[in-house]
Amino acid sequence: MADEKIKFDKWEQVEAAIKKSSIDADKSSGGGRLVSVLFAQSWNPPSLHMAKEFEKLRKAATTGKTAVTTMFIVDLDTEVAKAAEKGVVSGPAMLFFVGGEALTIRRPGWADDDKFVGSCSKENLMELLQYARSADNEGSKQLYIDF
């Protein structure tokens, strides 16, 4: 299997998408405003795993195979200040924004947070994105996950 090339995005691109999501929120009652951000490090094996899976899903989205969210991969080591501003101190960490606001992630046995930290399987990543998409469609600011 060929090694997947990961395209890291600049934070300015993420900010523009979040801002657009906020503007779009004023125009619609739900759906289509989800922005997913993965902070990752190329030298960190769990981060690299998540970045590769995220990149595969992002490529599938651009070819029309899946349209769940606008997806960004941000290099945690390059965007240290922005990561710290979002409370991210290590990768991988995923954040989800709807209508310009971060979703609150609720998990049994965990404190509520606005980020999902750690690696997970491809199946759980897909499930996480689907839950985030459902929150977007429902106009919810909370994301409930059970893994």
58, part of any domain: yes
pTM, rounded to two decimals? 0.87
* CATH code for position 129: 3.40.30.10
For 88-100, the pLDDT digits (tens) are 999 999 999 988 8
For the chain, the domain total comes to 1
Residue 87 within any structural domain of the chain: yes
Residue 48's domain comprises: 11-144
Rounded to whole angstroms, what are the CA distances from 113 to 13, 98, 106, 116, 118? Answer: 23, 15, 7, 8, 13
Tens digits of residue pLDDT in 56-115: 988 886 655 555 688 999 999 999 999 999 999 999 999 999 888 999 999 899 899 999
